[in-house]
Amino acid sequence: MAELDPETLKREMTAWRHDLHAHPEFGFEEKRTAAFVAAKLREFGLDDVSEGVGGTGVVGTLKRGSGNRAIALRADMDALRITEQSTAPYRSGNAGVMHACGHDGHTAMLLGAAKRLACEGGFDGTVRFIFQPAEEWGRGALAMLDDGLMQRFPFDEIFGLHNMPGLAVGHFETRAGPVMSAEDNFEIVLRGIGGHAARPHSGNETLVAACALVTNLQTIVSRRLSPADIAVVSVTELITDGTRNALPGLARILGDARSFRPEVSAEIERQMRIIAEGTATAYNVSAEVSYTREFVPLRNDAELVDAAFVAAKNVFEPDNIAVAREPMTGSEDFARFLDDVPGCFVFLGNGEASAPLHNSSYDFNDDGLLFGASFHVAIARQRLATGR
């Protein structure tokens, strides 16, 4: 079949990206985005396009030849509740919501790959194009899985990518094993007896106890976990009901913990409960700990990482392909799919001058579009090689 002209495809993807950028939608509200994606996939002539998978998710299916293997390529569609600082003509038209993580770019790249694979073929088997909702919540992948993704649209392995500010455009990185961390959230409520600021001894105020607890929580990583395990425990909020001349009877400590193994996450929670209980007792107040798990750790399959590096050689200059030095303590909802099948998540440069992800001045770099789409195409053709 005829090959698509790369420059024409790049122009098309740029137009789609700008359209998506101008109409950002928050997690599970991606109605316009999902309709846009589904309409494009139908236009490309996919064998099946299913909407409403796990809320606002879309799955496109493309079959060629007689191969019985299936691979999935995944993009995320949601935006963030951030007010955009931009003068671009395609800036957000949805006040208070913006594509500050580049999911508009990820969606455009996967659409570009779908168009090329539908038009050119070059593989034997089934490609599933998964457009997931609510990545930022850490809920969208699970919603699709709970809606029967694996039963209705089975696949053997999955690939995904994310743009990376600070890395030059045209550069590619990934690594085997741990790539991105789990995210846990916690809230510790201390209860005592508030009272007059001039008479602390007549109550059991909670602020000094809370300050001690914030300090003691630092020993989870420094003294209670193995130095070989990567972990972060960050207290992000300390809120009391005190006022200028009244000591608080209530203090709330909120925060975020990151780790790369379920055992480490469990140990952080166990140690947190011991320290909160012990500190509260020492200060004559009570402590109540709530601990929730939002994102699971992302671990890349070693064999599929090797395959991704081979595919990358078709797309990137050899000097621009690198093994990522260390895992990142950010989190990614792609990890949920890896409970069911092996997979590989990779990073593409968004430019050294790019604003950070989740920054109000961030914008996806359109010069990266062709690299991402080409990587999707290359990995699909390699994993579903004709005559394999």
- Considering the complex, what minimum distance in angstroms separates the CB of residue 26 from Zn ion? 12
In angstroms, what is the minimal distance from the CB of 24 to Zn ion?
A: 12
CB of 66 to Zn ion, least distance (A): 37
126 vs 365 by CB, closer to Zn ion? 365
Query: Which are the contacts of 148, defined by CB distance < 8 A and separation ≥ 6?
Result: none
- Report how far apart, in Å, the C-alpha atoms of 198 and of each of 193, 205, 209, 247, 283 are: 14, 12, 18, 9, 18
Q: Identify the CA nearest to 185 among candidates 243, 119, 233, 127.
A: 233
137/246 with CB nearer Zn ion: 137
CA angle 130, 258, 145 (to 5 degrees): 25
* Minimum distance from residue 54 beta carbon to Zn ion (Å): 17
Residue 276 CB, nearest distance to Zn ion (Å)?
30
User: Are the C-beta atoms of 148 and 57 separated by less than 8 Å?
Assistant: no
Residue 2 CB, nearest distance to Zn ion (Å)? 34
- Parallel, antiparallel, or unpaired for β 57-64 and 172-174? unpaired
Q: Is the dihedral of CA 281, 285, 286, 289 positive or negative?
A: negative
Q: Between residues 101 and 180, which has the closer beta carbon with respect to Zn ion? A: 101
* Residue with smallest beta-carbon separation from Zn ion: 101
Task: For Zn ion, give the closer residue by CB, 123 or 334.
Answer: 334
Residue in this structure with the two tokens 């079949």, named with its chain if needed: 1
Binding site for Zn ion (CB under 5 A): 101
Our CB check for Zn ion shows the closer of 38 and 101 to be 101
Nearest residue (CB) to Zn ion, 102 versus 255: 102
Q: Pull the structure tokens for residue 118.
A: 């539908």
